[in-house]
């Protein structure tokens, strides 16, 4: 699903690379935690997969495509296969829950009939039935993140990328979000999630990739957040 081959990312005007000769592979259907201290390169890794950034050196393969060789007009097709969730939800404040989810389909030209059918379905999956007509400011943080996950999942992506999805949520709410992501993973979507939330990682016991200073310092299947330090 994702393959990095000696990838280095050096941002302009930066001395130290955000990622340094990183090679790793993530298989289809995996659930992967990306951990590491602030500035270790987690978000950079996720942005490379989304082709929001391009590597300075090395190759990034996603869903069978080498992203350096992907021409600009094919990027949208790549992103339609990838769902994205962020710490800050990124909802449109003047649209309702249902409209926010529908927006993701409207802007890729899906027919109205299809949208009317799948939006209620996905809202049920994320547990928001009955709240379709609310606006984001009428929802709790956890509910807002569920809307964002519904939007990321409504087009049934093969890969879901979540950058600290529970970063703004309290532990109880986070557990609910993790259950939802786990459910999505069980429906066949590969999930890659960066987090600083030790409790969650330790509880889920999934593959853990730890970055530090742009290097992979640990890659464990069924890992925990950190070695007992």
Partner 1 sequence: MRANFVASEVSSGIRRNLTMTMAVIITVAVSLGLFGASMLVRAQVSTMKDFWYDKVEVSIFLCGKGSDTPSCAGGPVTGAQRDQIKADLDSLKPLVDSVYYESQAEAFARFQEQFKNSPIVDNVKPTALPESFRVKLSDPTKYDVVASAFAGRPGIEQVNDQRKILDKFFQLLGGLQLIALLIALSMLVVTVLLIANTMRVAAFSRRRETSIMRLVGASNFYIQLPFLLEAAVAAGIGAILAVVGLVFVKIIVIDQVLAQSFQFTAFVGWDAVLAIAPLMILVGVGLAAIAAFFTLRKYLRV
Residues that bind partner 1 (CB under 8 A): 50, 72-73, 75-82, 84, 90, 92, 103-104, 106-112, 151, 155
CA distance 114 to 225: 41
By beta-carbon proximity to partner 1, the closer residue of 85 and 178 is 85
Minimum distance, C-beta of residue 42 to partner 1, in the bound complex (Å): 17
Residue 44 site contact among Mg ion, partner 1, ligand ATP, none (CB < 5 to 8 Å, cut-off depends on kind): ligand ATP
Residue 112 site contact among ligand ATP, partner 1, Mg ion, none (CB < 5 to 8 Å, cut-off depends on kind): partner 1
Long-range CB pairs of 224-227, under 8 A, 24+ apart, other chains included: 225/33, 225/35, 225/197, 225/198, 225/201, 226/35, 226/198
Instruction: Name the one residue in this structure whose structure tokens are 């990682």.
Output: 201
Q: Please, which residues have CB within 8 angstroms of residue 166's CB and are 6 or more apart in sequence?
A: 145, 173, 174, 177, 178, 195, 197, 200
User: Which runs of consecutive H residues, i.e. helices, occur in the chain?
Assistant: 42-49, 75-80, 97-106, 112-125, 141-153, 171-186, 198-204
Minimum distance, C-beta of residue 162 to Mg ion, in the bound complex (Å): 11
Minimum distance, C-beta of residue 78 to partner 1, in the bound complex (Å): 7
Residues from 6 through 25 that contact ligand ATP (CB under 6 A): 11, 14, 18
Site mask for ligand ATP (CB under 6 A), range 25-64, x = bound:
-----------x-xxxxxxx--------------------
Instruction: Name the one residue in this structure whose structure tokens are 């807002």.
Output: 144
Residues from 20 through 49 that contact Mg ion (CB under 5 A): 43
By beta-carbon proximity to partner 1, the closer residue of 35 and 154 is 154
6: left (phi over 0), alpha (psi -120 to 50) or beta: left
Binding site for Mg ion (CB under 5 A): 43
Binding site for ligand ATP (CB under 6 A): 11, 14, 18, 36, 38-44
């Amino acid at each position: 699903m994702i393959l990095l081959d000696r990838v280095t990312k050096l941002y302009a005007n930066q001395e130290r690379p955000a990622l340094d000769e990183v090679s790793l592979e993530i298989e289809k259907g995996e659930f992967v935690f990306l951990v590491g201290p602030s500035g270790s390169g987690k978000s950079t890794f996720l942005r490379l997969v989304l082709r929001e950034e391009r590597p300075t050196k090395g190759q990034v393969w996603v869903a069978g495509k080498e992203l350096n060789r992907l021409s600009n007009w094919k990027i949208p097709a790549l992103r339609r296969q990838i769902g994205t969730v962020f710490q800050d939800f990124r909802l449109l404040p003047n649209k309702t829950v249902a409209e926010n989810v529908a927006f993701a389909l409207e802007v890729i030209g899906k027919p109205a009939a299809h949208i009317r059918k799948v939006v209620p379905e996905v809202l049920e999956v994320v547990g928001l039935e009955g709240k379709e007509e609310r606006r984001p400011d009428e929802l709790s943080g956890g509910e807002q993140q569920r809307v964002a996950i519904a939007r990321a999942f409504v087009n049934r992506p093969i890969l879901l990328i979540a950058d600290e999805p529970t970063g703004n949520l309290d532990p109880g709410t986070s557990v609910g979000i993790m259950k939802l992501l786990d459910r999505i993973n069980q429906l066949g979507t590969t999930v890659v999630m960066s987090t600083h939330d030790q409790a969650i990682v330790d509880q889920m016991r999934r593959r853990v990739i730890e970055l530090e200073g742009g290097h992979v310092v640990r890659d464990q299947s069924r890992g925990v957040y950190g070695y007992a330090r």
